Structure 1
Amino acid sequence: MTLTKPISHRPRPSARLRYGAAAAAVAAAAVAGGSAVDADSAWYRALRKPDWQPPSWAFGAVWTPLYGTIAYAAGHALGRVEAGPARRALVGSLAVNLALNAGWNVLFFARRSPGAGLAGTLLLDLSNADLLRRTARVDRTAARALVPYAAWCGFATVLNASIVRRNR
């Protein structure tokens, strides 16, 4: 008698598909979020910001590799997780995270609301914790790759809170 896998079992997607889909999702979030940013607007320039805020060029220099690590981590973790509820939960966590990531720019810049931005970045921090937890369950290498992203978002939360405090 030959034992076979259940019909509902689906193989893991190929590496090209995993990394390509992850890169496309991350790029879409980056473009969507970036389209809301206007750091040269009179509104943004008039905000009182802390002396320790990095120069505007540093944000692009930091976010570019961070987006790369998010795509890498997602593609890598999706190669380790079995099809089914765990994979769906990981994909869902990543989707929520990317939506919150892009949404912060809309809240802060497009709505011109540092307070809404702060609420958004606090939600993003919670989402980062969830994404890290889910990723670590299936792939510690991928989870380690997400740590700088989570740390930078934590820094962004402190920066956003400082801007809110200075601009009541």
Structure 2
Amino acid sequence: MSRPWTMPVGIAIMAALIVALLGGTITDLGPWYESLHKPAFTPPRPVFPIAWTTIFALAACAGVTAWRAARDCRTSDTLIGLFALNGFLNVLWSLLFFRLQRPDWAFAELLMLWVSIATLIVYCLRLSRTASALLLPYLAWVSVAGMLNWQVVQLNGPF
């Protein structure tokens, strides 16, 4: 079924911006973060906003592409629910890591975030190979973030 694209594009852009702004607002790169021992493979600071902007843009495109390919309301609603859960988990990681200063809890939560991305990839694959492929960089980046997070726990714990 061919579906209009203007409204879902606007909603996807707004959702991506809200998640990005919430996560960015919670992220505090102040003295506590600077004092942490970080692994040698930590990317330079400017890489993070570039990576996240790209990932959020790709996720918004994936969401719209998959939503347009959905055959019924139940599938659309499930897709929206999966993206909403993922956005919540994305923001929650920043809250746990930066605000609560608990990289150990953040790592445990990051495992749930990773599973939510993998679930989105599999669910979107049923609807659109393109949508599914657009989420692969997100999974890759969160995998790297997971390795960084784990190393921060190892190098600085206990918390």
TM-score normalised by structure 2 residue count: 0.95
Which of residues 28, 34, 38 in structure 2 aligns to 1:38?
28
Which amino acid in 1 is paired with 2:26? A
Write the deviation string for residues 19-78 of structure 1: whole angstroms up to 9, x where unpaired. Answer: 111111111011111101111x11111111001100111101111111100111101110
Post-superposition offset of 1:12: 6.6
Which of residues 86, 90, 95 in structure 2 aligns to 1:97?
86
CA distance in 1, matches of 2:46, 2:106: 20
CA distance in 2, matches of 1:126, 1:160: 16
Which amino acid in 2 is paired with 1:159? L
1:12–1:83 Cα contact (<8 Å) kept: no
Greater Rg over alpha carbons, structure: 1
Which of residues 61, 77, 85 in structure 2 aligns to 1:88?
77
CA distance in 2, matches of 1:12, 1:150: 29
- In structure 1, the gaps of 5 or more residues are 1-10
CA distance in 2, matches of 1:20, 1:84: 19
Name the structure 2 match of 1:3. Answer: none
Which amino acid in 2 is paired with 1:162? Q
- In structure 2, the gaps of 5 or more residues are none
| Mapped pair 1:165 → 2:154 | yes
Name the structure 2 match of 1:135. Answer: 124
* 3-state SS of 1:106 partner: helix
Name the structure 2 match of 1:70. Answer: 59
* 3-state SS of 1:56 partner: coil
The aligned length equals 157
Which amino acid in 2 is paired with 1:124? L
1:74–1:142 Cα contact (<8 Å) kept: yes
Post-superposition offset of 1:116: 1.4
Name the structure 2 match of 1:48. Answer: 37
TM-score normalised by structure 1 residue count: 0.90
Which amino acid in 2 is paired with 1:167? N
Which amino acid in 2 is paired with 1:136? L
Percent identity over paired residues? 32
| Mapped pair 1:24 → 2:11 | no
- Shift in CA distance, 13/20, structure 1 to aligned 2, threshold 3 Å: farther
1:12–1:82 Cα contact (<8 Å) kept: no
Post-superposition offset of 1:83: 2.4
**What RMSD in Å do the two structures reach over aligned CA positions?**
1.2
CA distance in 2, matches of 1:13, 1:108: 40
